[in-house]
Structure 1
Amino acid sequence: MENGWVKIRTYTKAYEAEIVKQMLEENGIAAVILNKQDSSYLFGKIELYVKQEEETFANVLINSGIDTEEDHVN
């Protein structure tokens, strides 16, 4: 990952990461998903990254209403 991006969450379900990414983008925050799951057996993590300067706002948005089974990285 390029400098300036920080991992803010990890997920085990791809659809949860996509929902949060979409919500962030709708609020003007650039977000990137890095899927580290094995493609055959679907074990591993899916990581969500945002730009470092948007980390605080992204966390506020995520914590204000998304109810998922995510693993918090912070």
Structure 2
Amino acid sequence: MEKGWIKIQTYTDAIRGEIDKQMLDENGIPAVLLNKQDSSFMFGKIDLFVNENDFEQAQRLIQENESEEDEN
């Protein structure tokens, strides 16, 4: 990982990680998923990284997105 990127979230569900990554991309925040899951048994973690300059905005967007899903 290049310097200046910071882990913002960790997932066990690849789909949840992709949803958040896509939402960030749609809001102009580049994001990278690093999948550390075992391909056979699907255990392990998936880390979402953003540039440290985008961290606060990305964190706010993820929290807002989670709140909206909880309401539905």
Measure, in 2, the Cα distance between the counterparts of 1:10 and 1:65.
16
Measure, in 1, the Cα distance between the counterparts of 2:20 and 2:55.
14
Aligned identity (percent) is 56
The corresponding residue for 2:2 is: 2
Shift of the alpha carbon at 1:6? 0.2
Shift of the alpha carbon at 1:65? 2.3
- One-letter amino acid of the structure 2 residue matched with residue 26 of structure 1: E
The corresponding residue for 2:49 is: 49
Structure 1 runs (4+) deviating above 4 angstroms are none
The 5 Å alignment of 1:1-74 reads 1-66=1-66, 67=69
- One-letter amino acid of the structure 1 residue matched with residue 53 of structure 2: E
Q: Secondary structure at the match of 2:59?
A: helix
Greater relative contact order (Cα < 8 A, sep 6+) = 1
CA RMSD in angstroms comes to 1.2
- One-letter amino acid of the structure 1 residue matched with residue 45 of structure 2: K
TM-score by length of 1: 0.88
Shift of the alpha carbon at 1:2? 1.0
Structure 1's unaligned 5+ residue stretches are: 69-74
Shift of the alpha carbon at 1:15? 0.2
